[in-house]
Amino acid sequence: DLVKIALDSVFKQTYQNFEVVVVGDNCTDDTERRIKALRDKRIVFINLPNRGPYPDDTTKRWMVAGAPGVDLAASIAKGVWIARLDDDDAWAPDHLEKLLKLALDTKSEFVYGALERRNVITGESHLVYDEKPSFGQISFQGVLYMRILNFFHYDQQSYLMEEPTDWNLIRRMVASGVRYASTPDVVGHINWIPNTSKKHR
């Protein structure tokens, strides 16, 4: 999925001035070999020596999984702007171009667009978007933000507040006065596998 879905959507961007930092959460498969096979110097791959630590509870683990890797990738990225993408999701072809233009036009430090979330079991999909950041209606898959905001880190214990790390970080950014703007245009697609053990609200 990382190569065929996520990275493929990155390489098809209308805006091509980017670098890709891939962090493995203690990968034990052939991820590194597959990335090297692409022979693209814009890609950096780092594999964490340990996974987590994550809570044992399934729902709590879902809330914070991947946080160490995301923070590491953001800390070593060299660009002025950072955009995140999970290994099984995809950007729209104009994701970077559209969000960068929105950021520059509005002088915003944090911008985001709508995402289409598709249930991979049923095929049903719905839009993830709200004009103002709100719980469940925004995801970092549709975000572009300035690298200078890297002093905001994922809280790996956000599950104690029953908040996924994405929303917890966005909430803290907005509360701190980070300038943001949004567009209802779809900038990406989330492939969602429902987990009946998750608490939905």
Summarize the confidence of residues 119-128 as an average pLDDT: 92
**193 confidence band (pLDDT: 50, 70, 90):** confident
Residue 194, pLDDT score: 76
pLDDT tens, residue by residue, 150-168: 999 999 999 999 999 999 9
Summarize the confidence of residues 78-89 as an average pLDDT: 94
And the tokens for 64? 């914070």
Contacts of 45 (CB under 8 A, 6+ apart): 22, 23, 24, 31, 32, 35, 36
| Beta bridge mates, 3 | none
| Tokens 């950096």, residue located | 44
**Contact criterion met (CB below 8 Å) for 87 and 9:** no
Summarize the confidence of residues 76-100 as an average pLDDT: 96
